């Protein structure tokens, strides 16, 4: 059970990072226009 939770958090982390990067890149695109 602990391993499953750790695995889920490892899978979730990259998604959160990608969402943050997408949000930042979208802000940069809006600012550049």
Render pLDDT for 20-31 as a digit per residue (tens, 0 to 9).
878 777 777 677
Q: How many domains does the chain have?
A: 1
HSE, CB side, 13 Å, CA atoms: give it for residue 17: 6
Residue linked to tokens 């990072």 = 17
- What is the C-alpha separation between 7 and 16, in angstroms, rounded? 15
Domain annotation covers residue 10: yes
The pair of structure tokens assigned to 22 is: 């997408």
- pLDDT tier at 9, thresholds 50, 70, 90: confident
Question: What pLDDT sits at residue 4?
Answer: 76
The pair of structure tokens assigned to 24 is: 């930042």
Domain annotation covers residue 14: yes
Domain annotation covers residue 3: yes
Domain annotation covers residue 33: no
Question: What pLDDT sits at residue 17?
Answer: 81
Domain annotation covers residue 13: yes
- What is the C-alpha separation between 15 and 24, in angstroms, rounded? 14
What's the domain range around 17? 1-28
């Amino acid at each position: 059970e602990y391993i499953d939770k750790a695995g889920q958090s490892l899978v979730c982390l990259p998604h959160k990072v990608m969402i943050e990067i997408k949000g930042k890149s979208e802000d940069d695109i809006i600012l550049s226009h």
